Amino acid sequence: MSTLFTPTKVGELLLKHRVVGAPMTRLRSEPNDAPSDMMAEWYGQRASEGGLQIAESSSVSAAGRAYLGAPGLYADEQIAGWKKVTDAVHAKGGYLIAQVYDPGRVGHVENNGGAAPAGPSVLPFDSHVVTADGLVDGTPDRAYETAEIPGVIELFRQAAVRAREAGFDGIELHGANGYLVDQFLQDGTNQRTDEYGGSLENRARFVLETLNALISVWGSQRVGLRVSPSGEWGDISDSDPERTFGYLAEQLNPLQLAYLHVIEPRIKGDDWLHEGQEPVASAFLRKTFTGPIIAAGGFDREGADGILGRGEADLVAFGRWFASNPDLPVRLQKGLPLAAYDRQYFWGGTELGYTDYPVYGG
């Protein structure tokens, strides 16, 4: 039997297989950033007995909304919508992890109640966000004052409390894709001279303090972290990413997190990772990080078997193919054909191209 379909444990969760539903921003929340009923249907369709999904990223602040239509966990009014989502997943025996983030310097005043986006440092970069006018350039950002940072971390803690109340099974800190946590960590975006900038120890301080805030609510075995050492989105960069992320992995070990979620570099276009085009990020982080690793980044069945077989990851997250195949674990296990996805329905819209994909033979 393929390792992909063997049981495993992630923190306190006992999983029946290792096919993970990756977090995918689909921009179909209600106007108050609460999940819509069709979001609950979508997650429920993709739930499986003993299977794990990671929910799309939720903003921890009304002043941190980079994409209009994305959900939030910054207000109590959003809890009920998320409860419908978690109930739909649990009804099928599945698990759902919340993902929380702040876009940092990536943002727009129209989405943020007039507030300027804020990050670790003010540096030139290209930014694209979604407002009522569609995909537009972001607006100029500002740098956080040192005294503001504990308040930002407190917003993550408060979102973690709401996630518990909404019935999630754990929480993931979004430290990838050039958003706030990533911006503090990497030296291409962090040029601060206070205790949150400069040395590796200082640049890692924000992510570690934020993780500890989440752990204070959930306990370490229900908390994960997502990173993208090879990411370039939002003009993110680092002079020595292997050293930076290797150091971070060392600091994570004493925390005993449920998992580390690693985004691999995407192969050109829609090609999947497969033998001969092997991932690299999980391999070097495995040398240091001692907990479970979830690998993501365009895998097919062959590539997933490969990275699990080499021991570089313990689970594999699938995104785009979960979008068009609600029964993806079954199709992968049985070698059934996969339904094609349609990018025009990825971000925003109705049920069309969202909840209308049938299970195989349906």
CA dist., res. 276 & res. 266, Å (int): 14
CA dist., res. 78 & res. 302, Å (int): 39
The gap from C-alpha 262 to its chain's centroid, in whole angstroms, comes to 10
The gap from C-alpha 272 to its chain's centroid, in whole angstroms, comes to 19
If you search the block for the tokens 């999947």, which residue do you land on? 272
CA dist., res. 44 & res. 360, Å (int): 16
* Cβ-proximal residues to 139 (8 Å cutoff; 6+ apart), any chain: 107, 108, 109, 116, 117
Cα 241-242-247 angle, rounded to 5 deg = 100
The CA–CA distances, whole Å, from 306 to 57, 278, 300, 320 equal 28, 8, 10, 20
Q: Which of 95, 74, 70 is nearest to 85 (CA)?
A: 95
Which residues carry out catalysis?
Answer: 179
Cα 279-201-315 angle, rounded to 5 deg = 30
Assigned token pair, 356: 């209308």
CA dist., res. 141 & res. 122, Å (int): 7
